[in-house]
Structure 1
Amino acid sequence: MTSFARRARSAAARMHPELSLVSFTLLSHLEERHDCRASDLAAHYALDKSTVSRQVAALERAGLVVRRADPDDHRVQVLELTPVGAAILAKTTRDRRAMFAERLADWDPDDLDRFATYLQRYNDHTAYGQDTTPGTGVN
Structure 2
Amino acid sequence: MPTTPDMTTASDPGLLDTLQHQVAVFARRAEQTRLGGVGQVRNSMDRAAYLLLNRLDKEGPMGVKALAASMGIDSSTVTRQVAPLVDTGLVKRTSHPEDGRAVVLQLSPRGQARLDEVRSSRRELMAELTQDWAPEERESFTTLLTRFNTALSARQSSQALPDAVAPADS
Which range, TM-score by smaller chain? 0.7 to 0.9
Instruction: Give how far 1:46 is off.
Output: 2.9
Instruction: Give how far 1:6 is off.
Output: 3.0
Identity of aligned residues (%): 31
Alignment of 1:1-139 (within 5 A): 1-8=27-34, 14-16=43-45, 20-127=46-153, 130-132=154-156, 138=160
Instruction: Give how far 1:10 is off.
Output: 5.5
CA distance in 1, matches of 2:136, 2:85: 41
- Give the number of the structure whose alpha-carbon radius of gyration is greater: 2
**Closer, same or farther: CA 10–57 of 1 in aligned 2, 3 Å:** same
Give the TM-score normalised by structure 1: 0.79
Structure with larger RCO (C-alpha < 8 A, sep 6+): 2
Deviations 1:21-78 (A, max 9, x none): 2122111111111121111122222322222112111111011111111111112111
Q: What SS does structure 2 have at the residue aligned with 1:80? A: strand
**Closer, same or farther: CA 13–43 of 1 in aligned 2, 3 Å:** farther
Deviations 1:105-139 (A, max 9, x none): 11134433432231132133234xx22499xx757
Structure 1 unpaired stretches of 5+: none
Asked if the contact 1:13–1:21 (Cα under 8 Å) also holds between the matched residues in 2, the reply is no
Asked if the contact 2:67–2:78 (Cα under 8 Å) also holds between the matched residues in 1, the reply is yes
CA distance in 2, matches of 1:118, 1:15: 28
Instruction: Give how far 1:9 is off.
Output: 6.9
